[in-house]
Structure 1
Amino acid sequence: MDRGSTLFLKAAILFIGIPVLAVCIFGLSRLHPDSPYWALPELANLQYPILIGMYLAMIPFFIALYQTLKLLSYIDRNEAFSESSVKALKNIKYCAIAISILYVLEMPFLYLLTKADDAPGILIGLFVIFASLVVAVFAAVLQRLLQDAIQIKAENDLIV
């Protein structure tokens, strides 16, 4: 298979991961508890649940990116139809589901943030939930197709 397409996808994964890592390091640290933004009494109790939820969601996000890079390396080595590819897709699916669950748990706090400050917290939370569920469904479909293809390949190898 042409390595250019997988190289492009690996670069795209890195270009997705680098800004998210920058937000983790610099962006979310601006939401520090000593910031004057959190001085409002309505927001005082929301800072820690929101920050904890966002940082916890970053863990499965980066695990999913790593599993995607592993899957692309399997494709480069012509091991796309292997159990390790199925396992990588299963891990991506579980990470996407974990992100959705974390943001569903975060939604009450985002609602309170929206209520207190007119921030688009609910829309952002719903977008993250929907996008990660789409990724989970897509990974589940690919996992099932790959398992079926591996099974068909194994049956054909036994026939010949």
Structure 2
Amino acid sequence: MKRGSTLFLKLALIIVGIPVLVLAVVGGIWLLNNPANPDFAHILYPIVGGMYVSIIPFYMAFYQAFKLLNYIDRNQAFSQISVDALTKIKYSAIIFSIVYVAIIPFVYIIAELDDAPGLIIIGAMPIFASLVIAVFAAVLQKLLQEAINIKSENDLTV
């Protein structure tokens, strides 16, 4: 595979990763200090805490995706280490989704108090996006494992 396409994907990962870090550092602190409605400030603590906890699986998946792109650059895409990286991405996405499922009740409370039903839909978006990533990683993991098995059978045949 050409190195340019993996370079593009690495840049895309960095372009996604940097704003998440900046938003976590600056946005979370700003939100806690300047809540839209001070009466609901105590409900924001578990939401912002969950958002900070979700950074851990996000950057674990981010790191594994970066490693996977490096494996592709070194022509090690069809190897067990690539399957392991996809497995870690899958589990990171599932953990990310679980963290946001734990946050949703607090988002529901704020939506009820502030009469903002669209907030629940916005709060559910990370759950579904990470589940899509987890399913996609699981499918890729299974396909890659099958390809590795076929390759090893062919190597033994020859």
CA shift at 1:38, angstroms? 5.2
Correspondent of 1:113 among 104, 110, 114: 110
Q: Deviations over 1:57-101 (max 9, x none)?
A: 111001111100000000000000111100000000001000111
Counterpart residue type for residue 35 of structure 1: N
* Matched residue, 1:103: 100
Q: Is the 8 A contact 1:38 1:47 kept in 2?
A: no
1-structure distance, mates of 2:58, 2:121: 19
* Matched residue, 1:74: 71
CA shift at 1:35, angstroms? 3.0
Q: 1:95 to 1:20 in 2, by over 3 A?
A: same
**Equivalences for residues 40-79 of structure 1 within 5 A:** 40=39, 43-79=40-76
> What stretches of structure 1 of length at least 5 have no aligned partner?
none
CA shift at 1:119, angstroms? 7.3
2-structure distance, mates of 1:114, 1:50: 13
- The sequence identity of aligned pairs, in percent, is 56
Point out the structure with the larger helix share. Answer: 2
* Matched residue, 1:89: 86
Q: TM-score, normalised by structure 2?
A: 0.94
Q: How well do the aligned residues superpose, as a CA RMSD in angstroms?
A: 1.3
Counterpart residue type for residue 8 of structure 2: F
2-structure distance, mates of 1:71, 1:36: 40
* Matched residue, 1:138: 136
Counterpart residue type for residue 153 of structure 1: K
Q: Deviations over 1:29-48 (max 9, x none)?
A: 1112x4354521xx143121
> What stretches of structure 2 of length at least 5 have no aligned partner?
none
Q: TM-score, normalised by structure 1?
A: 0.93
* Matched residue, 2:5: 5
Q: Is the 8 A contact 2:61 2:92 kept in 1?
A: yes
Q: Deviations over 1:3-34 (max 9, x none)?
A: 000000000000010111110011111112x4
Question: Bigger CA drift: 117-126 or 85-94?
Answer: 117-126
Moved >6 Å (runs of 4+): none
Q: Is the 8 A contact 1:56 1:102 kept in 2?
A: yes
Counterpart residue type for residue 39 of structure 1: P
Q: Deviations over 1:84-130 (max 9, x none)?
A: 10000000000100011111111100111112233743112211111
Q: 1:115 to 1:24 in 2, by over 3 A?
A: same
